């Protein structure tokens, strides 16, 4: 049962990660994706640390949500949960990849941010599913995992827009604005998502749940369209840099061309004297060597195998 729950926890992460990767026309190096996914796992521990600090400094944020009203939930959710979690993910994406030369297409920002988000979601999902079972696994695969994914999409979208602002006119003010939005928008979206769920539980009012599902449908659609928009944009943010993927493609094409040219020359394989284990289909080009064993022949018979030389 534990293995089934573990599989159900990880499977949606793999599926959504595969979709994001598949839509990348200039695939990012596997090493970067693994690094970012691991950083997403690390962001869970950063979240726990920052939460501990915040609860120590401001005890209010250590309150039980059942004791809070719908007004008190606003700062608790938006600051104590959403801001800390999204900052923990954002800082890894920004510090590790924003200035990386591999960040050379607009969709790259989406790939980087979503892989960090999926790393975070993977650990969080395992914890919740192991505690609550299959129903939680199904619910989170439909809502929570796509929610983290869409937060990552919006984070990556605005980081890409910041890079674009610098590359297209060197607009530093717009770049700073978009960098701020790359943290603010996911935080707001995450906060609205969590607040509507918690407010529904605390108040018992179904209107919060109805608004929650309406928000989820709108936000998931909005984020999907943003990702789709960038996935088809081939604008090069770093035209003077050749990506690792492109280098591999060039090397592969070069090796294939070299191989084809070699075959077109119809060069016969070299057979060395005294090499007794030659393939039967290899024919010698000179009567000075035995066609059976390859040994050098003097006269009409091979002194090595005894075969008559015709």
Domain coordinates in residue numbering, the chain: 2-247, 267-310
- The DSSP 8-state label assigned to residue 60 in this structure reads G
Confidence of residue 286 (pLDDT cuts 50, 70, 90): very low
Asked whether the predicted pLDDT for residue 267 surpasses 50, the reply is: no
The mean pLDDT value for 196-214 works out to 93
Quick one: how many helices (H) and strands (E) in the chain?
Answer: 10, 0
- Per the model's pLDDT, the better-predicted residue between 49 and 3 turns out to be 49
Asked whether the predicted pLDDT for residue 260 surpasses 80, the reply is: no
CB atoms inside a 10 Å sphere around CB 272: 8
The mean pLDDT value for 132-153 works out to 93
Asked whether the predicted pLDDT for residue 304 surpasses 70, the reply is: no
DSSP 195-247: HHHHHHHHH--HHHHHHHHHHHHHHHHHHHHHHHHHHT---BS-TT---HHHH
Distance CA(244)–CA(223), nearest Å, equals 28
Confidence of residue 300 (pLDDT cuts 50, 70, 90): low
Residue 13: closest CA among 120, 132, 135 = 120
CB atoms inside a 10 Å sphere around CB 116: 31
Confidence of residue 298 (pLDDT cuts 50, 70, 90): low
Distance CA(259)–CA(296), nearest Å, equals 31
Confidence of residue 284 (pLDDT cuts 50, 70, 90): very low
Span of 25-34, 136-145, 196-205, 287-296 with lowest mean pLDDT: 287-296
The mean pLDDT value for 238-261 works out to 73
Look at residue 275 in the predicted model and tell me its pLDDT: 40
The helix (run of H) or strand (run of E) holding residue 133 is: none
Look at residue 280 in the predicted model and tell me its pLDDT: 38
Q: Which two tokens stand for residue 285?
A: 């080009």
- Are the C-beta atoms of residues 309 and 290 closer than 8 Å to each other? yes
- Per the model's pLDDT, the better-predicted residue between 310 and 130 turns out to be 130
Asked whether the predicted pLDDT for residue 263 surpasses 90, the reply is: no
Phi, psi of 223 (to 5 degrees): -65, -40
Confidence of residue 167 (pLDDT cuts 50, 70, 90): confident
Could you tell me the CA-to-CA distances from 20 to 11, 71, 111, 223 in Å, in that order? 15, 37, 6, 12
Distance CA(17)–CA(28), nearest Å, equals 13
pTM of the model: 0.79
Asked whether the predicted pLDDT for residue 285 surpasses 70, the reply is: no
């Amino acid at each position: 049962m534990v293995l089934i729950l573990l599989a159900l926890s990880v499977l949606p992460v793999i599926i959504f990660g595969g979709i994001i990767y598949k839509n990348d026309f200039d695939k990012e190096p596997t090493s970067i994706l693994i690094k970012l996914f691991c950083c997403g796992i690390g962001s869970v521990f950063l979240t726990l640390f920052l939460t501990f600090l915040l609860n120590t400094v401001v005890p209010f944020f250590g309150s039980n949500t059942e004791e809070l009203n719908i007004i008190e939930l606003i700062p608790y959710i938006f600051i104590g949960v959403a801001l800390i979690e999204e900052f923990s993910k954002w800082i890894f994406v920004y510090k590790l990849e924003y200035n990386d030369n591999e960040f050379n297409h607009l969709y790259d920002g989406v790939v980087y941010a979503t892989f960090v988000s999926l790393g975070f979601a993977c650990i969080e999902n395992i914890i919740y599913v192991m505690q609550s079972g299959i129903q939680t696994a199904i619910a989170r695969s439909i809502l929570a995992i796509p929610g983290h994914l869409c937060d990552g999409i919006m984070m990556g979208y605005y980081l890409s827009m910041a890079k674009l602002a610098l590359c297209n006119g060197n607009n530093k003010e717009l770049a700073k604005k978009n960098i701020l939005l790359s943290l603010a928008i996911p935080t707001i979206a995450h906060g609205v998502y969590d607040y509507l769920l918690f407010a529904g539980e605390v108040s018992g009012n179904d209107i919060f749940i109805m608004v929650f599902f309406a928000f989820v449908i709108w936000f998931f659609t909005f984020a999907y369209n943003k990702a789709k928009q960038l996935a088809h944009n081939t604008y090069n943010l770093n035209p003077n840099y050749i990506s690792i993927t492109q280098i591999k493609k060039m090397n592969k094409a070069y090796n294939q061309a070299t191989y084809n040219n070699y075959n077109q020359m119809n060069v016969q394989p070299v057979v060395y004297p005294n090499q007794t284990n030659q393939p039967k289909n290899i024919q010698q080009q000179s009567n000075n060597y035995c066609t059976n064993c390859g040994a050098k022949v003097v006269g009409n018979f091979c002194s090595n195998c005894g075969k008559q030389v015709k």
